[in-house]
Chain A
Amino acid sequence: MSAMSAGAPRSLASSGQKSIQDILHPLSAEESALNPGSAAEKDLILPNGTPVDTSSPASSSSLLNRLQLDDDLDGETRDLFVTVDDPKKHVSTMETYITYRVCTKTTRTEFDLPEYSVRRRYQDFDWLRNKLEESQPTHLIPPLPEKFVMKGVVDRFSEEFVETRRKALDKFLKRVADHPVLSFNEHFNAFLSAKDLNKRQGLALLTKMGESVKYVTGGYKLRARPVEFAAMGDYLDLFTQKLGTIDRIAQRIIKEQSEFLMELREYGPVYSSWSSFEEDLHDPLEGVSGCMSNCSSALEELTEDMSEDFLPVLREYVLYIESMKNVLKKRDQVQAEYETKLEAVVFREDKKTPVPTDVEKCQDRVECFNADLKADWDRWENNKRQDFRQLLTGMADKNIQYYEKCLAAWESLIPVLQDKQEAEGETS
C-alpha cells in the first residue's frame, strides 16, 4: 500500500449513479483525474507502469490489479485500524440501550483526522450494513450479530450478552476495514467519523428496505450458472449444513455438561457431610469435596466460554453465508438480464447497427460483478480458513484448560489423602 500513498485512491463513488465506464478503477486513479473540474485528460498509468484500460474495467489487467491490492493489504502496510470497545448503558425516558465506542486510527486522506472516537449503537451498525449492501451489491458484506434475541430468557443488558455482541461488532468493522473496496465506502467513513450519524440516517431510512435500485432486474431467467459460481453455491449449501450440525452438537455438549455440572454440584457436598462424622477420614473427605468444587467451577467456565465465544461465531458464519447466497443470486440476475438482452439483439434482423449501449452496459456489469465476487470469494475463503482454525483451536484450548485445572486440583489432593498415613506410621 505504500506504493499507493502518493496517489491514494478515492473512495468508490456509488456505482449506481454513473455508468460503470465512467467510474475509474481505484488503482488507476490519480488525484488530479478525480478532481472535479480537472482539465487534463491524462493517460492514466498504473504505478507499476501498466497503462490503464478504462474502457473496460473488467479487463484482465485491472482484475489482476485488484488482486494485487488485496495482497498489499494483508501486509504490514495497513492504514486503517478500527476497534469496538467500552460498552455503556444509556437510560432515557423512552428507552434503554447500549452504545459502543468505535475508535479509528488512519493515515488515509479520505479522513479529515488521523483519529476518531465515536459512540454507536446497534442500529447504527445495522444502518451501515444496509448502506453497504445497497451501495456495493457486487461485494460480500460481512454479517452483523443477530438483531433480536429469542432463545430463552436472555438479558440484553447482561455482561455476557453485551460482550459477545461487542466482539461480533468489532469483527464486523474489522472485516469491512480490511476490505479493499468496502473500506473506502463513504457510508463507512461517515460511520467512523461523523459526530451525528442520525442526520445521515434520516435520509437513508427511506431507502432502507428497498433492494438496490440499479440492480432491480425483474424476472430474467438464468439459463445456467457458470461452473465456478455454481460450485460456490453448492459449497455454501453444504457448508451451511455442516455449520448447522456443528452448532447443534456444540449446544448438545453444553447441555450435557450443564447437567453433569448439576450432579457434580450435588456430589461434592455429600463428601463434606460425610467428613463431619469421621475422625481419621475427616481431612481426606473434606479434601475430596473441595476438589470437586474446584472441578465444578472449571466446568462452569468451560461451558460459559463455549456459549459466549464458540456458538456466536458459528452463527455469524451462517448469516454470512446467507448474505453470500443472496449476492450470488443477484449476480445470476445481472447475468440473466444481459443474456436476455443479448439474445434479443442477436436475433434482430438488422445486423449492421452496432450493439446497443445498454447491452454493453449489461455485459460490463456482469464482468464487473463476477470479478468483484471472485476476488471477495478468495478473500472470504482465506478468512474462513483462519477464522475456523482459530475457532477450533480455541475450543481445544478451552478444553485443555479445563482438564488442566481439574488435574491440578486432584494432584494437590493426593498428599492430603496420604498425609495421615505418614503420621500413623510414626506413632504405630
Chain B
Amino acid sequence: MADSGSEEIAVIGNTDLTPSESENNLKNTMVEKGTSLLKMMEISVAEAEKRTGKNAVNMQETYTVYLIETRPVDAASEGTNPVPDSLWRRYSEFELLRNYLLVTYPFSVVPPLPEKRAEFVWHKLSADNMDPDFVERRRVGLENFLLRVASHPDLSSDKIFYSFLTEENGWKETVFETGFQAKADSRLKALNATFRVKNPDKRFAEMKHYGDELQSVISQLLRVRARAADRLYGVYKVHGNYGRVFSEWSAIEKEMGDGLQSAGHHMDAYAASVDDILEEEEHYADQLKEYLFYADALRAVCRKHELTQYELEMAAQDLTSKKQQREELATGTIRTFSLKGMTSKLFGQETPEQREAKLKMLETQIEEGEELVKERNAECEEFVKSAWVDIERFKEQKDHDLREALISYAIMQISMCKKGIQVWNNAKECFSKM
C-alpha cells in the first residue's frame, strides 16, 4: 500500500493534512505503481486563464483554458529545474480525449473528468462555471484526471494521450484521424439499448449492480452533505452577532466591559473560521464526486461486457437455428414452424434442385456462423479477461482512495473540533475576567 517512508506523505495523527498534501499522497502512490510514463515525466495542470474568442457559429464566447506542464523526471532530481514544457487546453479537449479513450479501451475503467457543471452546491458555493473557486477546483480535478490516466497500465502508453500532453497544435485532427468518432456513436447507441442477456458473467452482473448502488449512495451523500454544510455555515455565522452585541454591551459596562469586548472578538473569529472549514470539506466532496463518476465508468465496462456477450449469444442463436433448418431440410421433417415450410406444404414441395441450392447456402452460412461464433467467443473471453483485470485494479484503487478520503475527512473534523475548543476556551477566559 502507501509507503510510510516518504516524508511527503502525511503521517496519520498529523491533523493538519492539507488538500495539497493528500494530493501528494495520491501522486506518490501512483508513481509507485510505476507506469513507464510517470517514470519518465512529471505532469501537472498548473494554471487556469480566461480567454475570449469566436466559436463555431462565429459568436463571441468566454472560456477557460488550463495550462498543462510536463517535465522530465530526471531534470527535477538533478536540481537544475528547467522550465517545463507546457501547452493550453480547454475542458472540451479533455472531453474529447476521454471519449477517445472510452472507445479505444472499452475494457478499461476510464478515469472520469471533474464535473462539467457545478452540482450539489450549497448556497455559498457558486454554480457559475466562471467562478474562480469552481475554476480552481476544476483545475485540480483535471490534473487528477491526467495523473490517473498516466498511472493506468494500459492507458498511459496511448499515443494520443501522449500527444495531448505534448503537442499543442494539430492534436484534434490527429484524434479525429483515428476514426474513433464512428465507433463512439455506435458505442453510445449500444450502451443505451435495452437487450436481454441470457448468460452474463456473474461477476460483471454483480459489478454493474455495485456500480448502480455506489452511484446512488454517493449522490445521496453529496446531497445531504451540501445541505448540512449550509446549516453549519449558518450556525457559525450567527455567532458573529454575539461579537457585535458584546461590543455594544461592553460600552455600557464598567468592570465587565473588557472581558465582554475581548470575548466578542473571539466570537468573531469563531464565525470567520467556518469558511476555511467548508472549503476543506469541499475537497472531500470532490473526492466523492470522482468516485460517483467512476461508478459510471465501471457500469460502462459492465455494459460493454453485456453487449459482447449478447452479440455472442445472438450469433450462437442464429447458428443454432440455421443448423436446425439444415437438419429439417436434410431429413424433410419440419420441427420448427417456418413460413417457407408452410408455403411449401400449401403450394407444393420444392424441387430437388431448389433444395440442393438451399442446403448449400445454409452450409455456407453455418460455416460463416461458426466462424462468427468462434470470433465472438474469443472477443468475449478476451474482453472478460482484460476487463476483469482492470476491474480488480479499480477495486483496489477505490478501496484505497476512499479509505484515504475518509481518513482525511476524520482529520478535518478533528481539526475543526480542536479549533472550536480553542476559541471557546479563549472566550471562557474572557468571560471569567468579567
Contact = CB atoms under 8 A, between A and B. Distances in A.
A262 B230 CA distance: 12
A407 B228 contact: no
A267 interface: yes
Contact of B242 (A249, A280, A385): A249
B221 interface: yes
A410 B228 contact: no
Contacts of A76: none
A245 B245 contact: yes
Interface string B1-20: 11000000000110000000
A263 B417 contact: no
A256 B413 contact: no
A396 B231 contact: no
Interface of B: prevailing SS:
helix
Contact of A407 (B213, B224, B231, B421): B421
B428 interface: yes
A264 interface: yes
Interface string A251-279: 01100110110111011001101100100
B83 to A, nearest CB: 39
Nearest to B227: A263
Interface in B196-215: 210, 213-214
Band of interface residues on B = 35 or more
Interface residues of A, number: 54
A391 to B, nearest CB: 9
A263 B226 CA distance: 9
Nearest to B428: A396
B403 interface: yes
A246 B406 contact: no
Contact of B431 (A257, A277, A389, A425): A389
Interface string A399-410: 110111011001
A242 B246 CA distance: 8
A403 B235 contact: no
A262 to B, nearest CB: 8
Contacts of B27: none
Contacts of A420: 403
B421 A263 contact: no
A271 B242 CA distance: 35
B406 A425 contact: no
Contact of B403 (A263, A271, A277, A284): A284
A392 interface: yes
B424 A403 contact: yes
A417 B252 contact: no
B225 interface: yes
Contacts of B218: 274
Contacts of A403: 417-418, 420-421, 424
Given A253-B238, A413-B410, A388 B231 contact: no
A86 B407 CA distance: 48
Contacts of B420: 399-400, 402-403
B40 interface: no
B289 to A, nearest CB: 15
8 contacts: A271-B221, A277-B210, A280-B403, A389-B256, A392-B434, A400-B421, A414-B414, A421-B403
For the complex of A and B, list the 5 residue pairs with the smallest distance between their C-beta atoms, beginning with the closest: A396-B428, A260-B231, A407-B417, A263-B228, A403-B420
Interface of B: 1-2, 12-13, 210, 213-214, 217-218, 220-221, 224-225, 227-228, 231-232, 234-235, 238-239, 241-242, 245, 248-249, 252, 255-256, 259, 263, 399, 402-403, 406-407, 409-411, 413-414, 417-418, 420-421, 424-425, 427-428, 431-432, 434
Given A389-B256, A406-B417, 11 more contacts: A267-B228, A270-B220, A274-B217, A280-B403, A281-B399, A392-B263, A396-B424, A396-B431, A400-B424, A403-B420, A421-B1
